[in-house]
Chain A
C-alpha cells in the first residue's frame, strides 16, 4: 500500500454532488409537464423542506444538538413575510429581509440561553420554544390567529408571479442548490471538523481551543435562518391559498426531525434524501388513499410515519444515505482488492 500525504477533499469530488443536484433541479420542470404537472408543487415543497432539513442536519447530525422546535422558525419566517406583505404592504425584498432577521434574532436570543442545555433537556427546551411560537401565532391579532391569512396577494418576485409554476420551482430549487453548496463547503472545511468534535465531546473540543459555545450558537442561528428562509419561500413563492397556524405546529417539528434521521444524520445529502422521501410519502399516502376510495387515510399517516421511523432506528440507525454509501464502498473495495 502506497501512502500519500493527506489532502483536503478535491473540488472535483466535492462538487460532483452539487452538479448532479443542479442538473436534477433544471430537469424537473421538463419532466413535470402535461399529465405530470401536479408534481411541480410537490417538488417545490420538497425543496422547501430540504432547505430546513439541511439546517437541521448541520445542527443535529454534525453538531449533535437536537432541536424539536424548528417549525417555530419556519413559522416566524412565513408569518413575518406574509404579515409584512398583507398588512403593511411592504415590498417583497423588505419582507424577506425582515423575516430572516426575525428568525436570526429569535434564534440568537433563545440559543444563547437554551444551548447551555444538553441532550434531553435541550430537546425539551427547543420543544417549548416551538410551542410558544405556535401559540403566539395562534393567538395574535397580527397573524389573524386561528383564522389564518386568507388571501396572500399575488406578489411579483423578481418577475415571477403565482401563476408560473416552473419559474417558481426553479427559484426555490436554485436557492436550495446554493444552500446545499454552502453546507457542503462548510462541512468539508475545518468548521465541519469542529462541529463533529463538539458532537463527539464538548469538553475535549474546548480543550483543543474550539470555541464551543460560539460555534454552537452560530450553527443554531444558521439553521434557524434556513428554516425562516424556507418559511418565506413557502408563504411568498409556494403561496398556499391559506396560511394557517396548524402548518407550523409540533407535528411539523417532529416531521423535520424524522426527515433528518431517515436520510442520515451525518450527511448533508442524507438530509436532502430524507426531505424528498418523506414529503413525497405524504403525497403518495394521500394519492393511494384517494385511489382506494378511502377518505380518511390521513388518519393512518402518523402511524405510517411512526412505523417508518421505528424501522429506520432499528434496521439502519445511521440513516439511508450512510447505509447505502457503506454498502457501495464495500462492493468497491472488494473489487479493488482483487
Chain B
C-alpha cells in the first residue's frame, strides 16, 4: 500500500434492502487534492459521501482516513473530515455567528455550569474566530441574524464557513452550487479555489458541469453505485461508458474539445 494514506475508500458497499446504493467502490485521495464525484441522479454520490463522513455505516468495506477507520460522524470530525449537506442544514434556532461557533467545541458541562471568567474568555475567542471566518466569506453583516432568515445563497455559504471552522484536512461538499444563480456559483467557485489553496483537500458532488470541469483536477464518475471512470476532466469526458450513462444507450461521445471551455 502506498505510504501517504490520506483518504482510502476500500471495497465500500452500502445496500438499502436489495438496492445497492454504493457497490464495491475503491478510491484514494491524496493530501490537498481537489476532486469531484459526478453521476446521474441516484448514482450513489450522496450515499458515498455519507459513508465517508461516517453518517452511514457501510454494509461492507471500510473508509480509512490517515490510516484510521471512520466509524461515526463525530469520529470523522475528529480525524479532520468536515462536510456540508445537499439541502443546507444550518441550525435555525441559532444565529449565523452561533452556527459557526457551534463548530468550535467547548461542550464541557462542568465549565458551562460554572461559567467561570476563564471559560467566558475561551468563548469570547470562539465568537471572535467565528466572526473572522464570516468576515472572510463576506457574511459579517448577517452574523447576528437567525440562520433560517438569510437568503438561501448565503445560507449555503454560511454552512461552508461552519465546516471550515473545524479546520478540516478534507472538506466534503455535497452539491455546493445547487440552488445558486450563475453569479453566486462563480463566487462559490472562487471561494472553493481559495480554500484549496490553503491546502485543504476538497471532494465535491456536483451537477453543475461548468463548475466541476473548470474547477477540479480529478473526476470520479459513479453510475448505479459502481465506479465508472476516474481521471482528469478531459479523460472522463471522452470515456464512452460515461457518455452512455449520462445520455443512455450507446450514445457516441461528443468530440473532445479540450481546453476550449476552461
* Contact (Cβ within 8 A) A186 B109: yes
Beyond A197-B91, A200-B93, A209-B78, whether A3 also contacts B140 by CB under 8 A is: yes
Let me know if B77 is at the binding interface, CB within 8 A.
yes
Does A17 touch B at the CB level, under 8 Å?
no
Q: How far is the CA of A204 from the CA of B140 in the complex (A)?
A: 22
Give chain B nearest CB distance to A55 CB in angstroms: 13
Q: How far apart sit A199 and B102, CA to CA, in the bound complex (Å)?
A: 13
Interface pair B55/A190, CB less than 8 Å apart: no
Q: From residue 247 to 269 of chain A, which have CB atoms closer than 8 A to chain B?
A: 266
| A209 and B109 in contact, given A5-B131, A6-B127, A190-B123 (Cβ under 8 angstroms) | no
Rounded to whole angstroms, the CA-CA distance of A211 and B108 in the bound complex is 11
Interface 0/1 of B184-214, CB less than 8 Å to A:
0000000000000000000000000000000
Asked if B162 and A191 sit within 8 Å, CB to CB, the answer is no
Q: Is A88 an interface residue (CB 8 A)?
A: no
Of the candidates B55, B90, B92, B107, which one forms a contact with A215 in the assembled complex, judged by CB atoms under 8 Å apart?
B107
Within 8 A of B (CB), among A26-68: none
Contact of A194 among B76, B107, B119 (CB under 8 A): B107
Asked if A290 CB lies within 8 Å of chain B CBs, one says no
Closest chain-A Cβ to B39's Cβ sits at a distance in Å of 23
Contact A8 B123 (CB under 8 A): yes
Q: Which of A178-229 contact B (CB under 8 A)?
A: 182, 185-186, 188-194, 196-197, 199-201, 203-212, 215, 218
Which residues of the partner chain B approach A182 to less than 8 Å between Cβ atoms?
Answer: 113
CB of B130, distance to nearest CB on chain A (Å): 7
User: Which of A189, A199, A208 meets B112, CB within 8 Å?
Assistant: A189
Interface size on A, residues (CB 8 A): 35
The answer to whether residues A192 and B112 also contact, given A206-B74, A207-B53 and a CB cut-off of 8 A, is yes
Q: Which listed residue, A189, A199, A207, A266, touches B123 by the CB 8 Å rule? A: A189
Instruction: Tell me the dominant secondary structure on chain B's binding face.
Output: helix
Q: Are B127 and A204 in contact (CB under 8 A)?
A: no
A6-B131, A190-B112, A209-B103 as given contacts; A200 in contact with B123, CB under 8 Å: no
Q: Is the CB of B162 within 8 A of A208?
A: yes
Cβ-based interface call for B231 (8 A): no
A296, CB-defined interface residue at 8 Å: no
A318 CA to B143 CA in the complex, in Å? 23
Interface: B89 (CB within 8 A):
yes
The answer to the question of B161 belonging to the interface, with a C-beta cut-off of 8 Å to chain A, is no
Tell me the total A-B contact number using a CB cutoff of 8 A: 118
Contact A6 B109 (CB under 8 A): no
Point out the residues of chain B lying under 8 angstroms from A210, CB to CB. 74, 102, 107
Mask of A152-194 contacts with B, CB within 8 angstroms, 1/0: 0000000000000000000000000000001001101111111
Q: Does residue B169 face the partner (Cβ distance < 8 Å to A)? A: no
Contact status B113-A186, CB under 8 Å: yes
A267 → chain B, closest Cβ, in Å?
12
B68 at the interface (CB under 8 A from A): no
B55 x A206 contact (CB < 8 A): yes
Please state if A203 and B128 are interface contacts (CB–CB under 8 Å).
Answer: no
B42 at interface, CB cutoff 8 A: no
Among the listed A185, A200, A206, which residue makes an inter-chain contact with B92, where contact means beta carbons less than 8 Å apart?
A200
Interchain CB contact under 8 A, B115 and A185: yes
B6 interface residue, CB < 8 Å from A? no
Chain B, range 3-52, C-beta contacts under 8 Å to A = none
**B91 touches which one: A6, A14, A204, A206 (CB < 8 A)?**
A204
**B106:A209 contact, CB within 8 angstroms:** no
A residues in contact with B141, CB < 8 Å:
3
Are B127 and A185 neighbours in the complex by a CB distance under 8 Å?
A: no
Q: Nearest chain-A residue to B147 (Cβ)? A: A200
Interface residues of B in 84-116 (CB under 8 A from A): 85, 89-94, 97-98, 101-109, 111-115
Q: Which of A199, A204, A210, A215 is the most central at the interface, judged by chain B CB atoms within 10 Å of its CB?
A: A204
Contacting residue for B143 out of A6, A197, A205, A211, CB 8 A: A6
What would 22 A/B residue contacts be, using CB atoms closer than 8 Å? A6-B97, A6-B127, A6-B144, A8-B120, A8-B123, A185-B114, A189-B106, A190-B101, A190-B104, A193-B102, A196-B91, A197-B93, A197-B94, A200-B93, A203-B73, A203-B85, A207-B73, A207-B83, A208-B166, A209-B74, A209-B166, A215-B107
Binding site for A on B (CB under 8 A): 53, 55, 72-74, 76-78, 82-83, 85, 89-94, 97-98, 101-109, 111-115, 119-120, 123-124, 126-128, 130-131, 140-141, 143-144, 162, 166
List 13 additional contacts besides A5-B127, A188-B115, A199-B91; criterion CB under 8 Å: A6-B128, A6-B144, A189-B106, A189-B123, A190-B107, A190-B126, A196-B93, A200-B90, A203-B73, A204-B89, A208-B103, A211-B74, A212-B74
Query: Would you list the 4 A-B pairs with minimal beta carbon distance, nearest first?
Result: A189-B112, A200-B91, A190-B106, A191-B112
